[in-house]
Amino acid sequence: MNSSSEPTTSMAACFPGTDEIVWEGTAATAADVADAVANARSALAGWQTTAVEDRIAVAERFAALATDQQESIANQISRETGKPKWESTAEAKLVPAKVKLAVQAYCERSGSQQIDLPQGTGRVVYRGVGVMAVLGPFNFPAHLPNGHIVPALVAGNTVVFKPSEMTPGTGELLCQLWHKAGLPHGVLQVVQGDGAVGATLVSQAVDGVLFTGSYAAGCAIHRSLAGRPEVLLALEMGGNNPLVVHRAKDLDAAAYLCAVSAYATAGQRCTCARRLILIDDDDSNLLVDRLVRHCETLRVGLPDDDPVPFCGPLISAAAADRVLDAQASWLDAGARVLVAVCRDPRNAALLRPGLVDVTTMNDRIDEEVFGPLLQVIRVVDFDAAIGQANRTAYGLSASLLSDDPALFDRFRTLIRAGVVNWNQPTVGASGRLPFGGLGASGNHRPSGYFAADYCSDAAAMLESGSLSLPATTLPGIEVGGNTP
């Protein structure tokens, strides 16, 4: 029991596909969540009035500690997600790198501006929004919440962070580093728990909710905030991302980029290609042959395996089941397997990648299958390819592999996505650009470099250094009327 006599719930995270416990703790009760928000509110004025240079100095100390602790962060990520070491190390490196980018973005996008106006000086001043709830996903348990937390803190907000229930230890570790860096009490707190704890956090008197996760959870949050227009909401959600290949001379390069797009992080990236759209010709057959070979040879395995794997396990055996079930339902609906996604006998969450031709399938469902399973769709020409690519309610990332610039010109104009690439994979977005999606992928508040925008409110200030009567006064009001 805690001080409010609510029963506490113990919580554990396991290595994917096993019952090996890699983190143990306690889920936050409703009272804990309310306390965290109250602490964040109490800390707000002090943090807002801390000079921005001093806030940046704390962030830079955090970056230095995160650099020192790169290996611990990477190990914790691998323990909780099963990512291969090279991949968790790459993620750990993004943590300090984000500080540099967030500071640059803050100065560039939120620096105060001044203009001369007839009434005096006009200024645009960016100020923190207030108390921010940050809700993180499991697939980049450090990099993606960090992409909200760093800009939010630099801009003068206080934060209550709930990591994914699958990756609580990574979230906890990040918060410990911030505190070691000298962040004042209450400015960043972590509350642990599942979606219900997240929902409790959203229901509190927060000023903003910064969410990265699934469309279903994003919608639930949006619904729960109905009638609270004053709460800022940034939603970074899923995708059903298209990859179009046409008139590409180097088919080896094209096949490699297709494999990376579809199978990076075992297909557990919001930006992973889910639909490979091909114009039916000889080259498309040669490309598919190469991709089949990638599926057959690509190494999957556990974090410490030698030789190193390209894909680790999915986050859980249940997540792997969902991918296998999706493939089974597509086959029932008339799809043709090129390479079946299948379970590796070593671990219940470990899948070998799959490739399924769904061209003749009835009623293709517009869903995000979060795993290493790529659909192939064949069409007659490039316009039909763009039409297919846009046949989704989502709109996160899209890529064209082609040597024909005219095709990309058409693609970038017509494609409905927030991340539009040419001869690049659908994954691997740059932190120097905005990152967000259209339609069911987001709510027009891109993150990445543009996270600075939702972390501050722009205030309009009209300023005159001295108090005096205007040159002309308004009719019907006496000047000095109250003078005895």
Ligand X SMILES: NC(=O)c1ccc[n+]([C@@H]2O[C@H](COP(=O)([O-])OP(=O)(O)OC[C@H]3O[C@@H](n4cnc5c(N)ncnc54)[C@H](O)[C@@H]3O)[C@@H](O)[C@H]2O)c1
Comparison of 270 and 455: residue with beta carbon closer to ligand X: 270
* Residue 274 lies near ligand L2THXQ4J (rule: CB under 6 A): no
Strands (E), 260-388: 273-279, 336-339, 342-343, 351-352, 354-357, 373-379
Do 195 and 52 meet the contact criterion of CB atoms below 8 Å apart?
no
Q: Which of residues 136-165 bind ligand L2THXQ4J (CB under 6 A)?
A: 139-140, 147
Confirm whether 236 is a catalytic residue. yes
* Residue 186 bridge partners (DSSP): none
Do 462 and 122 meet the contact criterion of CB atoms below 8 Å apart?
yes
Number of residues near ligand L2THXQ4J (by CB under 6 A): 13
Contacts of residue 225, defined as CB under 8 A and 6 or more positions apart, other chains included, come to: 202, 209, 231, 233
Q: Which does 147 bind (CB under 5 to 8 A by kind): ligand X, ligand L2THXQ4J, none?
A: ligand L2THXQ4J
* Residue 305 lies near ligand X (rule: CB under 6 A): no
State the DSSP code for 159: E
Tokens of 58: 């704390």
H-state helical runs in 7-84: 30-48, 52-68, 70-81
- Quick one: which of 155, 79, 67, 77 has its CA closest to 111? 155
* Of positions 129, 166, 339, 429, contacts ligand L2THXQ4J by CB under 6 A: 429
Q: What's the CA dihedral at 214, 216, 219, 225 to 10 degrees?
A: -90
* Residue 417 lies near ligand L2THXQ4J (rule: CB under 6 A): no
Strands 158-162 and 188-190: parallel
Smallest distance from the beta carbon of 196 to ligand L2THXQ4J, in angstroms?
Answer: 23
Q: Which of residues 149-178 bind ligand X (CB under 6 A)?
A: 162, 164-165
Comparison of 226 and 477: residue with beta carbon closer to ligand X: 226
Q: Which of residues 431-460 bind ligand X (CB under 6 A)?
A: 437
- Quick one: which of 216, 266, 271 has its CA closest to 433? 271
Q: Which of residues 364-403 bind ligand X (CB under 6 A)?
A: 368, 370, 396
- 119-124: long-range contacts, CB 8 A cutoff, minimum separation 24: 119/462, 119/464, 120/462, 120/463, 120/464, 120/465, 121/462, 121/463, 121/464, 121/465, 122/460, 122/461, 122/462, 122/463, 123/460, 123/461, 123/463, 124/458, 124/459, 124/460, 124/461
Smallest distance from the beta carbon of 238 to ligand L2THXQ4J, in angstroms?
Answer: 9
Comparison of 85 and 162: residue with beta carbon closer to ligand X: 162
CA angle 402, 405, 411 (to 5 degrees): 75
Smallest distance from the beta carbon of 424 to ligand L2THXQ4J, in angstroms?
Answer: 10
* Catalytic hit among 80, 87, 236, 368: 236
- Quick one: which of 395, 399, 389 has its CA closest to 423? 399
Comparison of 59 and 396: residue with beta carbon closer to ligand X: 396
Smallest distance from the beta carbon of 452 to ligand L2THXQ4J, in angstroms?
Answer: 12
* Residue 269 lies near ligand L2THXQ4J (rule: CB under 6 A): yes
Q: Which of residues 448-477 bind ligand L2THXQ4J (CB under 6 A)?
A: 448
- Chain residue whose CB lies nearest ligand L2THXQ4J: 431
Do 427 and 241 meet the contact criterion of CB atoms below 8 Å apart?
no
State the DSSP code for 418: S
Smallest distance from the beta carbon of 140 to ligand L2THXQ4J, in angstroms?
Answer: 6
* Of positions 130, 156, 198, 312, contacts ligand X by CB under 6 A: 198
Catalytic residues, which ones?
Answer: 236
Binding footprint of ligand L2THXQ4J on the chain (CB under 6 A): 139-140, 147, 269-271, 427-429, 431, 435, 447-448
Binding footprint of ligand X on the chain (CB under 6 A): 135-140, 144, 162, 164-165, 194-195, 198-199, 202, 212-214, 217, 220-221, 236-239, 270, 368, 370, 396, 437
